[in-house]
Chains A and B, each alone.
Chain A
Amino acid sequence: METNSYLDMELLRFSTAGSVDDGKSTLIGRLLYDSKSIFEDQYEAIEATSKKKGDEHVNLALLTDGLRSEREQGITIDVAYRYFATPKRKFIIADTPGHIQYTRNMVTGASTSNLSIILIDARKGIIEQTHRHTFIASLLGIPHVVFCINKMDLVDYSEEVFSKIKKEVESFATKLDVKDIHFIPISALKGDNVVNKSDNMDWYRGGTLMYLLENIHIGSDYNLIDCRFPVQYVIRPQSDKYHDYRGYAGRIAGGIFKPGDEVAVLPSGFTSKIKSIDTLDGPLEKAFAPMSVTMTLEDEIDISRGDMIVRVNNQPKVSQDIELMICWMNEKDLQLNGKYALKHTSSDARCVIKEIRYKVDIRTLHRIEDDKQIRMNEIARISIRTTKPLFFDNYKRNRSTGSLILIDEATNETVGAGMIID
């Protein structure tokens, strides 16, 4: 790899989902192995383990099955992150478990992804998990979804099988909000259409999975329209050189900011102009999502963590009453009228669950209105009231200002992932 070309690469984050035995770990092992991202000592270690177990092939799945308990059970139980790079892109894989009790990990993996790979066993076709995964990809606003129909080698590389599954997924997915869908017939075990084009499926004219990962357009995955700068930390150097310096540090959550821009500060509503955008490498002429910068303003305004700097003529919603979709992640059910701590951008608040409107049946996408007990791994629409106003956008418009988490105040555990509707 050329030294210079490496400095000009993009980052693509993707997650993988599948049921137990769909071959997800094998697929990731295959991507790493065929793109030469596996080191000799890693390969030797799994080769030795495979032999010890009496496996016929070197079991590539062992590369990603990290924890000992997983190795013992032979299943992945937690999100594992994997990395590889080609001359074009660096990839971060969130490898997430597929079985039912760990859906919370899938949501976790999906929350930062640009793309989701959903695996379907060609012999089994669509199962409940496929619905769940597709729905979660849609709910979490993943811009690109790739369905890999795996184990094609076990159905004689049949075009008919592939087309039937494709049709079924399409009819299901039309009910969902997924912008960009792709289908690829693969065999992770044999390597068909993963990195190298398959000789066994002449009927398939599309690219390999790797080709798609390297070339899919991700330039517009961040919101560059609505300017949102949640203040994360206030910088006061207290030194002679920067005696009166007050900088607002944060990561831009949306839009493009420039010095001279007229801005409003929420919640106070005071307006000012951006004086400078500072970094250790010097001042910037513009800054955009997802850059971490420090801003100074022309006027002295009292600003602290949790405030938000926005453009005067394009402001987020400000409210204490919020409608959202929630994915429940805790063994203790969601409590109607219960109180929870809440984190949203750099803001901390508390909230009360005012109403549970309906639960979503992830198989049929129907609303369930007569059972309002929200258990772990269930998804519901709820309304909450917060102790102070939040500054937010619809999740579909901005994944950063549109998302929040709920925390159990007794255990400090993160119990809910919320996507704001209104």
Chain B
Amino acid sequence: MQAYNLTHLKELESEAIYVIREVASQFENPVLLFSGGKDSIVCAHLAKKAFFPAKIPFSLMHVDTGHNFPETIEFRDKFVKELGVNLIVASVQDSIDQGKVAEEKGYSASRNGLQTVTLLEGIETNKFDAAMGGARRDEEKARAKERFFSHRDEFGQWDPKNQRPELWNIFNGMKNYGENFRVFPISNWTEMDVWQYILAEKIELPSLYFSHQRDCFIRDGVVMYATDVIERRDSEKVEKMQVRFRTIGDMTCTGAVFSDADSLEKIIEEVAATRTTERGTRSDDKRSEAAMEDRKKQGYF
């Protein structure tokens, strides 16, 4: 490689840092949404780079479904402490207790969809005018059309037909009172880019991503963790399985994959060889072909 040529990872890093700094400059009260998953960990890492040697000038917000893996919460608290940033927890349990949302019932009950209400409320009560997140365009068809700076109306809704054109690297964050933006600094990264970057930067991750033994059962071809928060049918037998998670979300809708990959190198080999998408293990996307688009219009991340 020539002396004045960036590798693609360095170019993506530079782009993301630029976007994060632009958010800090254009908005009064931005926040970084943090799920404890690898994408939001990478975003927080990039934010650290963007403002070094100063601290990250905004808070992190976690929308906690109450059905998170205990490993995620443990990791989150340690991570936030080391970073020295403020953490805000918006709780879905609170929204349920206050009667703002109703818990789903039955075998496929999940709190994933309820997150939207809690997220929007978290944005509103804290008066955040921009919420950054680790969504990537390669994840899902509807996300492929997101801008870096995605305008939301006062109801937090996304209008895919009325998106602002985004030219060069000039981001238009102008808005009226009460409106806000979602910003996606790693829009242009793929799952592979994220893993390579984690390896190159030696970024720490929750243990869930690495191969381990776990009590699981199989539902509709997806390996699910046998936790109390998922109601099981009699036919769904629990067994110890050697698994890891490709994405980390709510326990009720995050499936595991069979894997022996216990190091970043092995995960990367596995990702390179794998033939299904990351979100293929997410039952929330499978409800209908336009599932993601519908949730996004309502304000889902």
Interface bin, chain A = 35 or more
From A85, A224, A417, give the contact of B167 (CB < 8 A): A417
Q: B98 within 8 Å of A by Cβ?
A: no
Q: Which residues of A have CB within 8 Å of B86?
A: none
User: Known contacts being A78-B160, A346-B25, is A83 close to B138, with CB within 8 Å?
Assistant: yes
In the complex, what distance in Å separates the CA atom of A7 from the CA atom of B274? 19
Shortest CB–CB separation between residue A161 and chain B, in angstroms?
34
B52 near A279: Cβ-Cβ < 8 Å: yes
Interface segment out of the listed A107-115, A165-173, A313-321, A383-391: A107-115
* Bound form: Cα–Cα A278–B50 in Å: 11
| Contact in complex: A219, B5 (CB < 8 Å) | yes
| A-B pairs with beta carbons under 8 A, tally | 187
Is B190's CB under 8 angstroms from A83's CB? yes
CA distance A414 to B1 in the complex (A): 38
Among A66, A79, A242, A280, contact of B141 (Cβ-Cβ < 8 Å): A66
Chain B, 265-289, contact with A by CB distance < 8 Å: what is the 0/1 string? 1001100101111001000000001
Give the distance to chain B from A204, nearest Cβ to Cβ, in Å: 30
Residue A1 is within 8 A (CB to CB) of chain B in the complex: yes
Asked whether B28 is an interface residue with its Cβ less than 8 Å from the other chain, the reply is no
Interface membership of B17, Cβ < 8 A: yes
Residues of A within 8 A of B160 (CB): 67, 69, 78
Asked if B187 lies at the interface with its beta carbon under 8 angstroms from chain A, I say yes
Interface hit among B75-83, B108-116, B122-130, B171-179: B171-179
Q: Label chain A's interface by main secondary structure.
A: mixed
Residues of A within 8 A of B187 (CB): 81
Residues of B within 8 A of A219 (CB): 2, 4-5
Check if A41 sits within 8 Å of B276, measured CB to CB: yes
B21 within 8 A of A: yes
Given contacts A40-B275, A238-B54, A241-B53, contact A8 B7 (CB under 8 A): yes
Contacts of B199 in A (CB 8 A): 3
**Contact residues in A for B190 (Cβ distance below 8 Å):** 83, 85, 90
Query: Which of A83, A85, A105, A288 is B188 in contact with, Cβ under 8 Å?
Result: A83
Chain B proximity of A355: nearest CB distance (Å): 23
Which residue of B22, B269, B293 is within 8 Å of A67 (Cβ)?
A: B293
Q: Which of chain A's residues have a CB closer than 8 A to the CB of B145? A: 66-67, 78-81
Residue A290, interface by CB 8 Å: yes
A412–B51 Cα gap in the complex (Å)? 28
- Chain A CB within 8 A of B205 CB: no
Docked pose: A367 CA to B51 CA in angstroms: 48
Which residue from chain B places its CB closest to the CB of A238 in the assembled complex? B54
Q: Per-residue CB proximity of A67-90 to B under 8 Å, as 1/0?
A: 111000000011111110100011
Contact assessment for A108 and B165 in the assembled complex, using a CB-CB cutoff below 8 Å: yes
Contact: B165 with A104, CB < 8 Å? yes
The CA-CA distance from A290 to B168 in the complex, in Å, is 12
Q: In the assembled complex, how far is the CB of residue B291 from the closest CB belonging to chain A, in whole angstroms?
A: 10
B117 CB to nearest chain A CB (Å): 23
Chain B contacts for A187, CB-based, 8 A: none
**B142 partner residues in chain A, CB cutoff 8 A:** 66-67
- Asked whether any CB of chain B lies closer than 8 Å to the CB of A42, the reply is yes
Q: Which of B8-16, B209-217, B223-231 sits within the interface? A: B8-16
Closest to B175 in A: A412
A403–B53 CB distance below 8 A: no
CB atoms of B144 and A66 under 8 A apart: yes
- The answer, yes or no, to whether B49 is at the interface (CB within 8 Å) is yes
Out of A42, A90, A112, A346, name the residue touching B193 (CB < 8 Å).
Answer: A90
Which positions in B face A, CB cutoff 8 Å? Answer: 1-2, 4-15, 17-18, 21-22, 24-25, 48-55, 137-138, 141-142, 144-145, 160-161, 163-170, 172, 174-176, 187-188, 190, 192-193, 196, 199-200, 265, 268-269, 272, 274-277, 280, 289-290, 293
Ordered by A's residue number, 21 sampled pairs between the chains whose C-beta atoms are within 8 Å are A3-B199, A3-B269, A6-B196, A9-B7, A9-B9, A11-B11, A39-B275, A67-B160, A68-B289, A69-B161, A81-B187, A108-B166, A219-B5, A235-B54, A238-B54, A239-B55, A247-B54, A329-B165, A403-B167, A403-B170, A414-B172
Beyond the given A1-B272, A241-B53, could you list 4 further A-B residue pairs with CB under 8 A, ordered by the A residue number? A42-B277, A256-B4, A292-B14, A329-B165
Kindly list the 7 A-B residue pairs having the minimum CB-CB distance in the complex, ordered from nearest.
A11-B8, A237-B54, A292-B17, A412-B174, A66-B141, A280-B52, A292-B14
**Interface set of A (CB-CB < 8 Å, partner B):** 1, 3, 6-11, 39-42, 45, 49, 64, 66-69, 77-83, 85, 89-90, 92, 104-105, 107-108, 111-112, 219, 224, 232-233, 235-239, 241-242, 245, 247, 249-251, 256, 278-280, 288, 290-292, 294, 305, 329, 341, 343-346, 399-400, 403-405, 407, 412-414, 417
